[in-house]
Homo-oligomer: A and B are copies of this chain.
Amino acid sequence: MDTDRRAVNHILGRLQRIISAHARIDELPVPLKGGGALSSKEVHCLQAIGQNQGSNVKTIGDLLGVTKSAASQMSGKLADKGFIVKQAAPDNDKEILVFLTEQGWGAFQAHQNFHERHMQTLMDRLASFTPEQLRIIDLFLEAAEGIMRERMSELFGE
């Protein structure tokens, strides 16, 4: 039906705009309490490490979609700045594991909070939806996520 096609296009347009706005916002540097700031790339790395404490350097690179070389450089910089520590794996002599320092957790949380304020507003507005409506929204997002997953494994390794 024509009405449907228009509705669908409308929805896809929204999705597009949401995604592109998010990308824009996500590229901003993140100011830290007590002065200074972290670039978006630094924050992404910090996030990956915080959510995967004790991973090795290569794994962090995989999570970020960059080479182990880039991961080594980035984590080196974060270590120099005191946000993370790198220490030899306990069970073998070739891996280097990364951990957030206290300062690292501070920055991690700061960013997390920023993000959560974002999400909180959305959550508030979602409160007016019924469970049944939420289920429908979830179904839609599930479809979208599935497609993304397919594309990912199609384009990168599987």
A residues sitting closer than 8 Å to B (CB atoms) are 3-4, 7-8, 10-12, 14-15, 17-19, 21-28, 65, 118-119, 121-123, 125-127, 129, 131, 133-145, 147-152, 155-156
Contact = CB atoms under 8 A, between A and B. Distances in A.
A94 B85 CA distance: 53
A119 B155 CA distance: 16
Count of chain copies: 2
Given A7-B138, A18-B148, A129-B139, 16 more contacts: A8-B126, A11-B137, A12-B119, A14-B141, A19-B22, A19-B23, A21-B148, A21-B149, A21-B151, A22-B148, A24-B65, A24-B152, A24-B156, A25-B155, A122-B147, A129-B140
Interface of A is mostly: helix
A148 B25 CA distance: 9
A145 B10 CA distance: 12
B143 A122 contact: yes
A8 B4 CA distance: 26
Contacts of A150: 121
